[in-house]
């Protein structure tokens, strides 16, 4: 969702900015632009609607813009249609101040009215132009670039990552953030600014995570940080442990396919994060056995796939640890007034920046509840604000549709459930060991499934014209279905629904027509017969049915069009295996239909606005 980059150093800025923006393309965008301070002391701004290539062609890969200090942006429209005019950077009338912005300025209408009263005119419909002109207003008033930005921050409501250049300070980029991600990299006198690490990884692994309401001043030779009172403050330099290759396609046609194939490694790494000397050790997470033993209940919140991982965690945790667990959409939790009883609130998020999940976390903290984040991105807002953090070890996830981060979240959830069960004495030590051994063998089972991907590819080519696809299951299979269905609809654009199998006949079965494809996920031995009966009901209405089932388990012979087998594992972990054919099915359908797999329409990787 929007991408910001900035550079100040000895290189020509424009090519570095374009390169950084290309690494942020995965976040979703509809237009792009760059601004560079030129050697004559002016600011050149070039913007283009559509793909980054249009912008790159307009400035000959950056060669046409001279200057070593610049900012760039990919925009995902919120205020005003996608157009060159609305694209960032935005500037003041004299073109002496220029800015790029992520997020939403909630009181922009009120600020715009105030600026109009002070004689300002507006050329775009964006809140960013308002932000830029507000900085201009305060700069003219105080004649101090830092004070202009701190006054801006005091006046504005909403979320933002803002980067500003002033013509009067030709070798400097200023930046501030609130609830919108921003990192700064440094290397041998050069300074880089970006919304996310992959944008600058080629140049440096030394990164600062900018705190909320911290102002950064990037110059040749280094970065300084200030609070809103303009006192200099310290920030910790962090070394990124993964390399640029981790954020490249590595020979795969799409990031999604690469990330699907990374799942065995991701499961192992996430498991090893807390598996020490034959047992689960949460010391890095910070959660003591005491908290886990006496916690009265658990509330899990997240959005999209993270919420779906939470659903699986609910089934598994209640079954193993006998703790009451509730799972809620973060966007609902944040505006509810739930009755609380000392629960542990778990926020699941790949990016750690999802606005609704961050707000849910804050609302839980305000209620005095302890919070645990299951997060992938190091140093992200949710990770920093939660009391405890379990870092999933998925590495950078670039494809908008999540696969490997979801798999890592599932494993984190299983480990937490086993740990809870073990400290509360609801499972025997023997069963605990069996579960851990089983988790250890999950990666090779996922790898085995991936080897048979051609079977899914073939089925996708046979069903690519389907208009509706349903997924049904019970228990964790239902939770798996919801994720499978989301994956399919978000990248193939085929209408899809997931239903708890028993619920279908309470209305939705009326949608089943001749040829509708219905997948049944059948991995829970006690529930197979029930779900198969529901599938037969859809067959009677003309549906074509397919099953995802554990190998070796005899299914009633009801005439499935296809049965995709998954290796045997403990019943609590089958979602990790059932997810693979569903991810591949969505992927191949998207490819076959000629869609932009990694950047599906209307979607953004990190949803930092409500
Ligand atoms: C779907 C997908 C989204 C995210 C959701 C939450 O493939 O990726 O549904 O799961 O937007 O994002 P995070 O996990 O970053 O909070």
Q: What pLDDT does 326 receive?
A: 97
Q: Are 122 and 130 in contact (CB under 8 A)?
A: yes
Residue identifier of the C-alpha nearest atom 5 of ligand 1: 304
Specify the pairing of strand 183-187 against strand 544-550. Answer: unpaired
Residue identifier of the C-alpha nearest atom 1 of ligand 1: 401
- The CA dihedral of 279, 284, 286, 287, to the nearest 10 degrees, is -20
Low-confidence ranges of the chain (pLDDT < 70): 1
Q: What pLDDT does 1 receive?
A: 63
CB atoms inside a 10 Å sphere around CB 290: 9
Mutate to test the pocket of ligand 1, among 27, 354, 390, 583 (most ligand atoms within 8 A of CB): 354
End-to-end CA distance of the chain: 12
Q: Are 408 and 394 in contact (CB under 8 A)?
A: yes
- The CA dihedral of 203, 204, 208, 212, to the nearest 10 degrees, is 30
Annotated catalytic residue 605:
yes
Give CA–CA dist 219/192, Å, rounded: 10
Residue among 23, 133, 445, 605 flagged as catalytic: 605
Buried b (16+ CB within 10 A) or exposed e, 43-69: bbbbbbbebbeebbebbeebeebebbb
Ligand 1, pocket residues at CB < 6 Å? 303-306, 349-351, 354, 357, 401-402, 486, 490, 606-607
Give CA–CA dist 546/562, Å, rounded: 5
Give CA–CA dist 575/577, Å, rounded: 5
Residue with tokens 């200090």: 69
Mutate to test the pocket of ligand 1, among 196, 306, 397, 487 (most ligand atoms within 8 A of CB): 306
> Directed axis angle between helix 453-463 and helix 429-451, to 10°?
60
Give CA–CA dist 549/507, Å, rounded: 26
Distance 271 CA to ligand 1 centre (A): 21
Atom of ligand 1 nearest to the CA of 305: 10
Lookup: tokens for 38: 């030129």
Lookup: tokens for 588: 């191949």
> What share of residues in the chain are helix, strand, coil (percent, to 5)?
40, 25, 35
Give CA–CA dist 206/152, Å, rounded: 29
Mutate to test the pocket of ligand 1, among 328, 350, 356 (most ligand atoms within 8 A of CB): 350
Distance 401 CA to ligand 1 centre (A): 7
Distance 429 CA to ligand 1 centre (A): 35
Distance 92 CA to ligand 1 centre (A): 36
Q: What pLDDT does 77 receive?
A: 79
Distance 138 CA to ligand 1 centre (A): 37
From 341, 328, 332, 385, select the one nearest 361 (Cα to Cα).
Answer: 385
Atom of ligand 1 nearest to the CA of 354: 16
Cα–Cα distance list, 153 to 89, 103, 116, 409 (Å): 19, 13, 19, 35
Atom of ligand 1 nearest to the CA of 405: 14
Mutate to test the pocket of ligand 1, among 255, 308, 402 (most ligand atoms within 8 A of CB): 402
Annotated catalytic residue 69:
no
Q: Model pTM?
A: 0.82
Q: What pLDDT does 110 receive?
A: 96
Cis bond leading into 89, ω under 30°? yes
Residue among 2, 69, 91, 303 flagged as catalytic: 2
Give CA–CA dist 358/47, Å, rounded: 32
Cα–Cα distance list, 244 to 22, 140, 204, 248, 318 (Å): 13, 42, 9, 7, 40
Q: What pLDDT does 222 receive?
A: 92
Give CA–CA dist 406/450, Å, rounded: 16
Give CA–CA dist 359/353, Å, rounded: 10
Q: What pLDDT does 57 receive?
A: 94
Residue identifier of the C-alpha nearest atom 11 of ligand 1: 304
Q: What pLDDT does 101 receive?
A: 93
- The CA dihedral of 160, 201, 347, 447, to the nearest 10 degrees, is 150
Widest Cα–Cα separation across the chain = 80
Distance 377 CA to ligand 1 centre (A): 13
The rounded Cα 477 to chain-centroid distance in angstroms is: 24
Give CA–CA dist 125/568, Å, rounded: 56
Give CA–CA dist 595/464, Å, rounded: 12
Atom of ligand 1 nearest to the CA of 403: 7
From 221, 225, 249, select the one nearest 236 (Cα to Cα).
Answer: 225
Cα–Cα distance list, 167 to 104, 164, 361 (Å): 25, 10, 40
Atom of ligand 1 nearest to the CA of 357: 16
Cis bond leading into 248, ω under 30°? no
Q: CB-based burial of residue 507 (10 Å sphere; 0-12 exposed, 13-18 middle, 19+ buried)? A: exposed
Distance 304 CA to ligand 1 centre (A): 5
Give CA–CA dist 410/311, Å, rounded: 10
Q: Are 181 and 208 in contact (CB under 8 A)?
A: no
Element (H, E) at 273: helix 263-274
Give CA–CA dist 586/161, Å, rounded: 33
Q: Which residues is 350 bridged to in the sheet?
A: none
From 23, 548, 32, 14, select the one nearest 249 (Cα to Cα).
Answer: 23
Give CA–CA dist 126/133, Å, rounded: 11
Distance 523 CA to ligand 1 centre (A): 25
Give CA–CA dist 517/90, Å, rounded: 49
Give CA–CA dist 94/129, Å, rounded: 13
Length of the chain: 610
Distance 63 CA to ligand 1 centre (A): 37
CB atoms inside a 10 Å sphere around CB 119: 8
Q: Which residues is 47 bridged to in the sheet?
A: 33
Q: Are 131 and 89 in contact (CB under 8 A)?
A: no
Give CA–CA dist 478/471, Å, rounded: 8
Residue identifier of the C-alpha nearest atom 6 of ligand 1: 303
Atom of ligand 1 nearest to the CA of 304: 9
Alpha helices in 322-452 (DSSP H): 330-333, 355-366, 381-385, 404-424, 429-451
CB atoms inside a 10 Å sphere around CB 429: 10
Q: What is the pLDDT of residues 377-421, one digit of tens each?
A: 988 899 999 999 999 999 999 999 999 999 999 999 999 999 999
Give CA–CA dist 584/571, Å, rounded: 22
């Amino acid at each position: 969702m929007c991408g910001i980059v900035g550079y100040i150093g000895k290189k020509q800025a424009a090519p570095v900015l374009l390169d950084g923006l290309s690494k942020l393309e995965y976040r979703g965008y509809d237009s792009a632009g760059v601004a560079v301070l030129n050697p004559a002391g002016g600011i050149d701004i070039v913007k283009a609607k559509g793909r980054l290539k249009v912008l790159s062609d307009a400035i000959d890969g950056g060669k046409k813009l001279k200057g070593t200090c610049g900012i760039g942006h990919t925009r995902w429209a919120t205020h005003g249609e996608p157009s060159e005019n609305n694209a960032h950077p935005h500037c003041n009338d004299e073109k002496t101040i220029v800015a790029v912005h992520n997020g939403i300025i909630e009181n922009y209408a009120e600020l715009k009215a105030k600026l109009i009263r002070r004689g300002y005119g507006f050329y775009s419909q964006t809140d960013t132009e308002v932000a830029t002109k507000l900085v201009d207003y305060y700069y003219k008033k105080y004649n101090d670039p830092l004070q202009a930005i701190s006054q801006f921050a005091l006046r504005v409501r909403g979320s933002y990552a803002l980067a500003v250049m002033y013509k009067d300070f030709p070798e400097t980029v200023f930046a501030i953030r609130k609830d919108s991600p921003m990192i700064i990299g440094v290397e041998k006198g050069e300074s880089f600014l970006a919304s996310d690490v992959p944008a600058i990884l080629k140049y440096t692994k030394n990164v600062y995570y900018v705190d909320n309401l911290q102002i950064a001043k990037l110059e040749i030779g280094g970065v300084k940080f200030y609070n809103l009172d303009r006192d200099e403050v310290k920030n910790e330099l962090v070394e990124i442990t993964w390399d640029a290759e981790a954020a490249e396609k590595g020979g795969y046609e799409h990031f999604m396919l690469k990330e699907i194939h990374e799942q065995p490694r991701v499961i192992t790494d996430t498991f090893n994060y807390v598996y020490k000397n034959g047992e689960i050790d949460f010391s890095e997470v910070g959660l003591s056995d005491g908290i886990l033993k006496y916690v009265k209940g658990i509330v899990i919140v997240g959005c999209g796939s993270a919420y779906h991982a939470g659903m699986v965690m609910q089934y598994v945790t209640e079954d193993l640890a006998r703790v009451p667990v509730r799972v809620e959409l973060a966007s609902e939790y944040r505006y509810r007034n739930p009755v609380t009883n000392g629960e542990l609130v778990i926020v699941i998020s790949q990016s750690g920046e999802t606005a609704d999940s961050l707000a849910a976390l804050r609302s839980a903290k305000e209620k005095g509840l302890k919070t645990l984040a299951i997060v992938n991105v190091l140093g992200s807002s949710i990770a920093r604000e939660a009391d405890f953090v379990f870092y999933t070890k998925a590495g950078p996830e670039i494809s908008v549709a999540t696969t490997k981060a979801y798999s890592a979240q599932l494993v984190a959830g299983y480990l937490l459930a086993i740990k809870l069960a073990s400290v509360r004495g609801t499972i025997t030590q023997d069963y605990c060991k069996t579960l851990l051994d089983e988790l250890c063998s999950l990666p090779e089972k996922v790898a085995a499934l991936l080897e048979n991907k051609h079977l899914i590819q073939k089925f996708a080519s046979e069903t690519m014209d389907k208009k509706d696809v349903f997924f049904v299951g019970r228990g964790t299979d239902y939770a798996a279905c919801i994720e499978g269905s989301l994956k399919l609809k978000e990248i193939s654009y085929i209408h899809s629904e997931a239903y708890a199998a028993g619920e279908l006949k309470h209305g939705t079965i009326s949608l089943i027509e001749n040829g509708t494809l219905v997948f049944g996920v059948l991995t829970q031995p006690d529930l197979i017969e029930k779900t198969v009966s529901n599938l037969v009901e859809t067959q009677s209405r003309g549906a074509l049915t397919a099953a995802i089932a554990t190998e070796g388990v005899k299914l009633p012979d009801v005439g499935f069009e296809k049965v995709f087998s998954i290796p045997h594992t403990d019943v609590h972990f089958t979602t990790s295996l059932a997810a693979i054919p569903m991810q591949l099915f969505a992927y191949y359908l998207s490819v076959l239909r000629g869609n932009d797999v990694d950047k599906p329409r209307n979607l953004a990787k990190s949803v930092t606005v409500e």
